Amino acid sequence: MIYLQLFWAYLKIGIFGFGGGYAMLSMIQFEIVEHYQWMTMQEFADMVALSQMTPGPVAVNIATFTGYSVGGLWGSLLASFSIVLPSVMIFLLVMRLLFKNKDNYIVKNSLSMMKPVIAGLIFVAALQMMNADNFTDLGLHGSNISVIICTLSFVGVFFLKINPIPLIIASGLVGYLVY
Amino acid sequence: MKTIIQLFLTFFNIGAFTLGGGYAMLDMVEKAVVRKRKWIEKDEFWDMITIVQMLPGVFAVNTALYTGYKIKGAGGAIAACLGAIIPSIAIILFIALFFLDYKDNPVVERIFRGIRPCVVALILSPAVKMFINAKVNWKTAFLSLATVILIYFFHVSPVYIIIATIIGSVGFAFYSQKQLNKLEK
């Protein structure tokens, strides 16, 4: 049963995963944490961090990781297979059609509303992760180290365009020293 | 057959050593298939990428599929695709094996307490970037806001929201093309 659920969850994400890795990440979060409640927001955040630090596409990494923790070796293979399968099917179906019609007005504008929606989608994923799981010292002794790490990381990645990996390592080091 | 093996190895190499996923990978793919192997022309490659970006699914996988197909047909597509994902799966399985045993270790727990708020920032950043990139006006800002409210407060699945967005966008594209045709007449 759990294999069927894994298959279905990741198949949907593979089919409707528009907007790149982070959009898919939000969809995975919804399915795995919110809908099936296979893990907590905290465990999910840990897996995102590890998936960011390892090579390869983040969505495949997360699928493999969550699949493993839900259903062991077969779960992980099934999850990564299911997230890739729609790509292969769509590829077989639309390959010719798409390249022939690439300048068609409707093809070009058929995703016009997608960007603002994806922005909202990813924003919710971040919002939902801002809970007591991930911001452990929220409100304790007036010292909000979690909030400081989050703010500084945001400044680093958004404004200073620092690569996520050194930021994750630095945050881990701060956690080790402070807590 | 030789090209198919080379395709597999090329994408395997890229999958095993590129950090940061999709877009970081593009440069390496271009370097390998356009400049080094000269399998396809540069313009042809970037034209293809423009289309691949519109497709759903993992961008790196789609890039591998279409590049592989252009170069060596269906066999090339499958070889490139497998090459792109096998390193990911192998590396993550290796890490998962250890991580699930060590995650309750006090030192690991302290490190991850620091990392978690950073992950939140890493996800917040592309949301803001996408919002700016979408050149939002009050109409499109409504779309973002509606998405946030529907998922956050009403727990509507993102899948349904994406389906509604596709229907809305295609409908709007047909409608505006009709208007354009009218104007031209």
pLDDT tens digits, residue range B41-53? 988 888 888 888 8
Residue A148 has pLDDT above 60, yes or no: yes
Q: Do A17 and B56 touch (CB under 8 A)?
A: yes
**pLDDT interval class at A68 (50, 70, 90):** very high
Per-chain mean pLDDT for chain B: 89
Say which amino acid occupies A111: L
In this prediction, residues A131-137 reach a mean pLDDT of 82
The percent of residues in chain A predicted with pLDDT above 90, rounded, is: 62
d(CA A154, CA B117): 10
Name every residue whose Cβ is closer than 8 Å to that of residue B73 and which is 6 or more positions away in sequence: none
Nearest to B69 by CA among A126, A93, A26, A29: A93
In this prediction, residues B150-176 reach a mean pLDDT of 92
Which residues in chain A touch residue B136, judged by CB atoms under 8 angstroms apart? 116, 119
Please identify which residue in the block is written with the tokens 């924003």.
Answer: A123
Residue A140 has pLDDT above 60, yes or no: no
Which residues in chain B touch residue A163, judged by CB atoms under 8 angstroms apart? 19-20
Q: DSSP H helical segments within B134-157, as ranges?
A: 138-152
Q: Is the minimum CB–CB distance between B152 and chain A shorter than 8 Å? A: yes
Q: Do A114 and B88 touch (CB under 8 A)?
A: no
For A45-71, letters b (16+ CB in 10 Å) and e give bbbbbbbbbbbbbbbbbbbbbbbbbbb
In this prediction, residues A70-93 reach a mean pLDDT of 93
Alpha-carbon radius of gyration of chain A = 19
Question: Which of A16, A80, A134 comes nearest B117 by C-beta?
Answer: A134
Q: Do B147 and A120 touch (CB under 8 A)?
A: yes
Q: Do A113 and B172 touch (CB under 8 A)?
A: yes
DSSP string, B21-35: -HHHHHHHHHIIIII
**pLDDT interval class at B21 (50, 70, 90):** low
Say which amino acid occupies B139: K
pLDDT given at position B55: 87
Query: Could you state, in order of their start, the residue ranges of all structural domains in chain A?
Result: 2-132, 135-179
d(CA A101, CA A115): 22
**pLDDT interval class at A98 (50, 70, 90):** low
d(CA A149, CA A133): 15
Q: Do A45 and B114 touch (CB under 8 A)?
A: no
Residue B98 has pLDDT above 90, yes or no: no
In this prediction, residues A91-117 reach a mean pLDDT of 75
d(CA B87, CA A96): 29
d(CA A60, CA A80): 6
Q: What is the ipTM of this complex?
A: 0.88
Q: Do A109 and B173 touch (CB under 8 A)?
A: yes
Which residues in chain A touch residue B54, judged by CB atoms under 8 angstroms apart? 111
Handedness of CA A66, A72, A77, A83 (dihedral sign): negative
**How far, rounded to the nearest angstrom, does the alpha carbon of residue B128 sit from its chain's CA centroid?**
17
- CA of B32 to nearest chain A CA: how many angstroms apart? 16
d(CA A90, CA B55): 9
In this prediction, residues B5-13 reach a mean pLDDT of 94
Nearest to B129 by CA among A151, A52, A119: A119
In this prediction, residues B6-14 reach a mean pLDDT of 94
Which residues in chain A touch residue B94, judged by CB atoms under 8 angstroms apart? none
Residue B64 has pLDDT above 70, yes or no: yes
**pLDDT interval class at A114 (50, 70, 90):** confident
